[in-house]
Amino acid sequence: MNPTTILLVDDEPELRNALESGLKDRGFNIISAGDGLEALDILKTLKPNLIITDLKMLPMNGFDFYQNARKMKGLENIPFFFLTGIDDQLSKKYSKDLGVDTYITKPFDFDELGLIINSKLCELK
């Protein structure tokens, strides 16, 4: 069985590398991008099983990245997680209204994140 491929989008290299390493240690295949524009370019040729993105990024924030990715053919139903330091009710509500699957605030626990990912992927089977 092929490992689950996750597209990871975060503009902070240290955090992105830590996330990539932690998720790889849990058996996931990780493709990473440094911002939403790079991620949209990757999505032209890759259909991941799940997308995890930060919210606060330049030049395109996570909300805009989500909306652009959702317009791409074949990506309409891919699970989308926001993993962010923004812990306010307005952002959480807006995310839910947009249709984002999961909103996780930093700091987070890698084992818990792995369980949430696996749970979401099991729902889709």
pLDDT, tens only, 71-94: 999 998 999 999 999 999 999 999
pLDDT at 123 over 90: no
pLDDT value for 115 = 92
The count of structural domains within the chain is 1
State which residues form the domain around 39: 5-124
The percentage of the chain sitting over the pLDDT mark of 70, rounded to a whole number, equals: 98
pTM of the model: 0.94
As a whole number of Å, the end-to-end CA separation of the chain is 14
Q: Between these two residues, 115 and 124, which has the higher pLDDT value?
A: 115
pLDDT value for 12 = 93
Q: Residue 106 maps to which CATH number? A: 3.40.50.2300
Q: Decide: 108 and 82 in contact? Cβ < 8 Å.
A: no
